Amino acid sequence: MTMAGRLAGKTALITGAAGGIGQATAELFARQGAHLVLTDACADAAADLAARLGRAGVEALGIGLDVSSPQQWSEVIAQVERRFARLDVLVNIAGIVDWAGVEEADPHTWHRVIAVNQTGTWLGMKTAMPLLRASGNASVINTSSVLGLIGSGGAAAYHASKGAVRLLTKTAAVEYAAQGVRVNSVHPGVIATPMIQEILRQEGDRQPDIVRTPMRRAGRPEEIAPMMLFLASDESSYVTGAEFVVDGGLTAH
């Protein structure tokens, strides 16, 4: 695996790295020369991915991380500083979904979705920002969703969390624009990841959001990763506070 590329010399931290989009992003970043810190709620999965990429010549560290835990975030960033002494890219991908609507959602599940998707994104930026600012040329990529832009009539907590990520991204972009840190959000549409695999198995192309998608198919994680790469690279040096939709045309209606 080549160590030259669009991210040569950069250290990137990816949350949710063992999931569909996270793994595709990690593999693409590896091919483009990044040093990688791969975190996931499943520590073994993060370690396995890091080991696999390491065998291909990539410098990669795999760590377990509950993104809703301030203490765990502090421990991860301390490891990043010890191992790499820098951080240039933070990709907040870790997320969970609950499909219950407003009345059906229960408080426990609501708070857990908010804790992972919304608070976890904030904690990642808060804890990593000193290292990112020290880079002088850093990029934060927050993963929202098309459901952070439009309603679907369900998944109340997920919508709330992803809408919050969208505006948290914009205010952070304004706050850090003059400090060498760009902050943007990516909004995937229906992507064939483990999170929705059961729904896709049951409904296939009849799944309502796929029917409404002009391309009439689910996207692949490998179709989201290049957007992450663009935002992580210096090619997006004048891009901050923006939202990038990768949804097969779903929000074009």
Report the pLDDT value the prediction gives residue 209, as an integer from 0 to 100: 72
Nearest to 39 by CA among 94, 81, 88: 94
Report the pLDDT value the prediction gives residue 1, as an integer from 0 to 100: 44
Please say whether the beta carbons of 239 and 184 come within 8 A: yes
Please say whether the beta carbons of 22 and 16 come within 8 A: yes
Please say whether the beta carbons of 34 and 135 come within 8 A: no
Q: Give the pairing of strands 243-246 and 181-188.
A: parallel
Q: How far, rounded to the nearest angstrom, does the alpha carbon of residue 84 sit from its chain's CA centroid?
A: 21
Residue 131: CA atoms inside 13 Å, Cβ hemisphere, count?
26
pLDDT > 70 fraction of the chain, expressed in percent and rounded: 93
Nearest to 14 by CA among 70, 84, 56, 67: 67
DSSP 8-state class, residue 143: E
How many DSSP H helices and E strands does the chain contain? 9, 7
Please say whether the beta carbons of 39 and 13 come within 8 A: yes
- pLDDT-based confidence at residue 210 (cuts at 50, 70, 90): confident
Q: Report, as an integer, the average pLDDT of 166-190.
A: 98
Report the pLDDT value the prediction gives residue 160, as an integer from 0 to 100: 98
Residues recognised as catalytic? 158
Q: Report, as an integer, the average pLDDT of 162-176.
A: 98
Is 203 or 58 the better-scoring residue by pLDDT?
58
Round to whole Å and give the CA distance between 83 and 158: 34
